[in-house]
Amino acid sequence: MIFRLLCLIRGYVIVQISGYGKEKLINFLMRSDFRVWNVKHKKDHFEAKLKMKDFKQIRPYVRRADCKVRIKSKHGLPYWLRKLKVRKSLLVGVVVAVMMLYLLSSFIWSVEIHGLSELSEEKIVNLLKDSGFEYGMLKHTVDIEELEKKIESHRKIAWADIELQGTKLDVEIVEKVLVEEKDRTDKVVDVVAKKTGLIEEIIVLKGKPVVKEGELVQAGERLISGTRKYYPQVPQQEELSTEEKEELEPKIEKMAADGIVKAKVWYRSYAEAKLVDYYQQETAEVLDSISVRYNNSEFNVYGPDKPPFAQFKIEIAVKSLPSWRNIDFPIELIRRRYIKVKDFKERLSLAEAKELAKKRALEKVLDRVSEDAEIINKKFEIISENQKVNNIVRIKALITTKEDIALQKVKTVQ
């Protein structure tokens, strides 16, 4: 790779070698200090690549070998620059084109907006313009953070992310889900536990927490309440005693509780692996059979009328004739595809079988765990004895995760 790059920089030629002693010259060049490569034998001559500086130095050897050498084509940077000297206008055009491309790529010419459902693109573009953005402005003058803050200030937008991609401003929007006023008065949303676990961390975004860190909660148990009792006639309610609160008439504030509740959750799993396992695998041998069924009779039309293989897998597709004027025709077209299968035997060492069983046990747990869960501990226990005699390894797994168990649950308040 480096040699080819150097040849392109220094230049090389493709030569045609013909005459009585062409083989003699090729052999000499291959054994000498001259670098010759890509030698090809044509009908009455040879073609080869040679460094530009070596071409003049081989002339004495060409005469001795009684052959002829001529240049077929020239390649590399020196020849390209020489052509550009002749075509100065082309060189100037290339330079100007490169400069124009570089200049134009320094501006923003388009805006692409993603994630909109309720808002219009025109509304987002107007928000950008209010922050000083204009089409055709230089990229280094754009304040990305200021644009994001301006968009997020809109009451219907929860989050915005802006990136510069070439000459395009890419805007990603996440809209807020606004709860209608009628729903706020009729419904209360509590946050409950979707899994049993030990509370590790509580972040209340809205509502009142009813559990504490370190408590063990069961699935379905309430974590954050969507109702809050308050006393509108008392400005500083935290200073009231229990007796004073009983004498006053409280009011209930309804809300959609929200928050993040991370808990330690335990999963148990079981898996096994065989030391010697037998299984079947499909081969490339396939035969199709087509038959017609009329009422209870079946007639073979194409292919074998019985399974052609001793061991096979079969795929059946049945098609009925379309009804006509509410008349169903009792005719069905049946296609059977016979796929030959072959028996295989797989042997695993004891260590390999244990690892396979552990992997299967872990996969069973991962199917039940949320994507954002963090696995903090894994314990595996072998529960089978005399694995080699019984030809099986059984593994019991206890996986501990830390994950968000918060689940919003709507309840109707009378």
Query: Each residue of 269-323: pLDDT tens digit?
Result: 999 988 888 888 888 899 999 888 887 788 888 888 889 999 999 999 988 766 5
Looking at domain 2-81, which of 3.30.70.260, 3.40.50.920, 3.40.50.1110, 3.10.20.740 is its CATH number?
Answer: 3.30.70.260
Question: For the chain, what are the domain ranges?
Answer: 2-81, 110-175, 186-263, 276-347
| C-alpha–C-alpha distance, residues 36 and 15, integer Å | 10
Question: Residue 127, SS3?
Answer: helix
Task: State if pTM tops 0.75.
Answer: no
Q: Which is nearest to 371 in space by CA: 400, 398, 403, 397? A: 403
Q: Name which of 140, 257, 265, 148 is nearest 199 in CA terms.
A: 265
Residue 139 CA to residue 164 CA, distance in Å, equals 8
**pLDDT tens, residue by residue, 49-87:** 888 777 777 777 777 777 888 888 888 777 777 766 666
The pLDDT-based confidence of 228 (bands split at 50, 70, 90) is confident
CATH of 110-175, one of 3.10.20.310, 3.30.43.10, 3.20.20.70, 3.30.460.10: 3.10.20.310
Asked if residue 266 lies in contact with residue 321, where contact means CB atoms within 8 angstroms, the answer is no
* pLDDT score of 176: 74
- pLDDT confidence tier of residue 233, bands split at 50, 70 and 90: low
pLDDT score of 236: 53
Q: What is the pLDDT of residues 113-161, one digit of tens each?
A: 888 888 888 888 888 888 888 888 888 888 888 888 888 888 888 888 8
